[in-house]
Amino acid sequence: MSTRTSFKHIALISKPDATPQLLDTLASALRFLEKRGAAVSLSENSADLLNRPDGLPVASLGQRCDLAIVIGGDGTLLHSARELVDSGIPLLGINLGRLGFLVDISPDLMCDMLEAVFNGDYEQEERMLLRCSIEGQQDQLALNDVVLHKWNIARMIEYETWVNNGFLGAQRSDGLIVSTPTGSTAYALSGGGPLLSPGLDALALVPICPHTLSNRPIVVSGSSRITIRISGRTDPDHVRVTCDGQASLQAPPGVDIVVRRHDTALRLLHPAGHDHYQILRTKLGWGESPP
């Protein structure tokens, strides 16, 4: 993009850790935005860190703001994404975490990058989210993954899986990861799943420590409806479904766990020249070919 943006009202969202670096970065972002004449609304965490009384729940920020700046790690952005995706406002991440696959702006370069964004010099992409439905419970969203997993036991769990109306199979394992392309660099990666380019319309189903070694990760269309049913031989107290590692649901035997693409995609902003493969090389320690 090369035209000036229309970002007028900015949400500042931060993780709750009161570290000196977070406080400095948050205060610096607020000064930059106020100097530019932008209206600013603070999340409750941000307001608490700045000793201000005007903090708002993250979900409500989408009703009044046209851009959200998220200061923290990937976990902070995951939570913000689930809360704000239906508002349609884009998210921009400042990296104070460890990996930073999603929050890709260094605090040292923050003001320069924000200036470029406000001048229209940025890239935008859309990322799919998943919606997990279990009968009798509130649906949960996930940007990375929906994970069926055992809970406080050493025994495997038994379940069956369908893709749309096709029976995929029954297995015993420690669980199953249903991952978006965004989540393919998270738990699914450590489970042996493939890396998916963020723009792919696809989902990865990655078994966790399957009893049968021929049970391998499989990639299906992003429009697929994934249905998982726990076997009656599995104690329901020993199973959980977790969304992005942050929201947990119970999974009773005989009740369908349905995972499908959420209707609204997340808008994610990056600095100009954003290179997903360069991020993979850096974060995963891949070597580069010699000149």
Longest alpha-carbon distance in the chain = 62
Residue 114: what are its φ and ψ, rounded to 5°?
A: -65, -40
pLDDT bracket for residue 290 (50, 70, 90): low
pLDDT bracket for residue 276 (50, 70, 90): confident
CATH number, domain 9-128+265-284, options 3.40.50.10310, 3.90.1150.10, 3.40.50.1100, 3.40.50.10330: 3.40.50.10330
Tell me which DSSP letter residue 287 carries: -
Residue 142: what are its φ and ψ, rounded to 5°?
A: -150, 130
pLDDT at 1 over 60: no
**Mean pLDDT of the 107-135 span:** 95
pLDDT bracket for residue 239 (50, 70, 90): confident
Query: For position 268, what pLDDT does the model report?
Result: 96
In the Cβ-directed half-sphere of 40, how many Cα atoms lie within 13 Å?
23
**Where does residue 104 rank: exposed (0-12), middle (13-18), buried (19+ CB within 10 A)?**
buried
Which two tokens mark 243?
Answer: 């969304």
Q: Which of 31, 38, 28 is nearest to 71 (CA)?
A: 28
Architecture of domain 130-261: Sandwich (2.60)
Query: Could you state, in order of their start, the residue ranges of all structural domains in the chain?
Result: 9-128+265-284, 130-261
Q: Based on the residue annotation, tell me whether 201 is a catalytic residue of this protein.
A: no
Q: Determine which helix (DSSP H) or strand (DSSP E) holds 190, and give its type and residue range.
A: helix 187-190
Q: Which amino acid is at 236?
A: P
Query: For position 247, what pLDDT does the model report?
Result: 87
Catalytic hit among 74, 145, 174, 244: 74
Interatomic CA distance for residues 21 and 2, integer angstroms: 32
Q: Which of 286, 253, 270 is nearest to 105 (CA)?
A: 270
Tell if the pTM clears 0.85, that is, is over it.
yes
**Mean pLDDT of the 136-164 span:** 91
What proportion of the chain, given as a percentage, has pLDDT over 70? 96
Query: For position 288, what pLDDT does the model report?
Result: 66
pLDDT digits 0-9 by tens, 24-50: 999 999 999 999 999 999 999 999 999
Residue with the two structure tokens 């921009």: 92
